Amino acid sequence: MSYGVRQFLMTDPGGNCVRIGQRTGEHHGHGPAPGETFARALHHASLLADSKADPAAAAKVVDRVLALTDETPADVQLVQLLVLRGDVAAQLGDEDKAADFLTRAAAVPLDDAEREAARDALTRLADLRADPRP
């Protein structure tokens, strides 16, 4: 996260959400949003999905930026955006849409350096494809 924490969330069958986090840096406040269009969208959508528990708002941010016709994201950013969108689609109960976004993310060609840069998103992609949410 932009505020120096790596985290994950678990939801039990009763709907209780548990957030587990680990500090990854000394900075504990939110960092400024990036200036570049796709990095900024990824930043805001991630905050909405993970910190604010608002997957619907995160989906809107990602959908809006993926619909742009005058700019295109770098392949790494595209994978990150598609995986995030697939994740929030699953959270919203739209398994068909989730599968579509995850399939699109898996189809983006990446070289070794790009795969390393997208490592967290690719790990999440594998997790989502192996064990989709109910």
pLDDT in tens, 44-90: 898 888 877 899 999 999 999 999 999 999 999 999 999 999 999 99
pLDDT at 13: 86
> Do both 27 and 79 map to the same domain?
no
> Do both 84 and 94 map to the same domain?
yes
**Whether residue 37 has pLDDT greater than 60:** yes
> Do both 43 and 19 map to the same domain?
no
> Do both 67 and 24 map to the same domain?
no
> Do both 23 and 38 map to the same domain?
no
> Do both 65 and 23 map to the same domain?
no
> Do both 71 and 110 map to the same domain?
yes
> Do both 24 and 41 map to the same domain?
no
Does the pTM surpass 0.75? The reply is yes
Domains held by the chain: number? 2
Percentage of the chain lying above the pLDDT 70 cut = 87
> Do both 10 and 67 map to the same domain?
no
- Mean pLDDT for the chain? 86
> Do both 25 and 57 map to the same domain?
no
The range of the structural domain enclosing residue 15 comes to: 1-31
Q: Quick one: tokens of 31?
A: 């960092």
Helices then strands (H, E): number in the chain? 6, 2
> Do both 90 and 68 map to the same domain?
yes
Q: Give pairs for 14-20: CB < 8 Å, separation 24+.
A: 17/53
